[in-house]
């Protein structure tokens, strides 16, 4: 991802992602890559998965993890960072944490 090629709106989102990553002691590059893959930094709903926002969090996941209003940009990004921190603490590596996230999303989409 080339920061200079992002729109101003995407740069604002990227800066907030870095802030959330640092607040959760996560490598910002990991959270930036996840958000870019999930949504392209767009804060929109995904009607096919019922997920919402930059971090593509489903309402059930938000409720189970007490993430708050995932339709709010800042809350969505900080919620995604909180989830990633939980995965990193549990699985001890970025690769395993991302695989866990992929499995969680896949399981939710099938339910």
Alpha-carbon distance of 72 to 52, in angstroms, equals: 10
Q: Is 18 helix (H, G, I), strand (E, B) or coil?
A: helix
Q: How far is CA 84 from CA 2, 3, 69, 94, in A?
A: 23, 22, 18, 9
Per-residue pLDDT of the chain in tens (111 residues, 90 and over written 9): 788 999 999 999 999 999 999 999 999 999 999 999 989 999 999 988 899 999 999 999 999 999 999 999 999 999 999 999 999 999 988 888 888 766 655 555 545
pLDDT at 105: 56
CB-CB contact of 56 with 44 (8 Å) = no
Alpha-carbon distance of 103 to 97, in angstroms, equals: 10
């Amino acid at each position: 991802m080339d920061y200079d090629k992002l729109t101003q709106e995407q740069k604002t989102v990227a800066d907030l992602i870095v802030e959330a990553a640092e607040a959760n002691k996560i490598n910002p590059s990991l959270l930036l890559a996840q958000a870019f893959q999930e949504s392209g930094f767009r804060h929109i709903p995904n009607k096919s998965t019922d997920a919402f926002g930059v971090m593509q969090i489903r309402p059930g996941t938000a409720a189970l993890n007490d993430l708050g209003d995932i339709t709010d940009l800042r809350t969505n990004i900080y919620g995604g960072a909180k989830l990633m921190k939980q995965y990193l603490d549990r699985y001890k590596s970025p690769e395993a944490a991302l695989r866990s996230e992929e499995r969680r999303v896949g399981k939710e989409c099938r339910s």
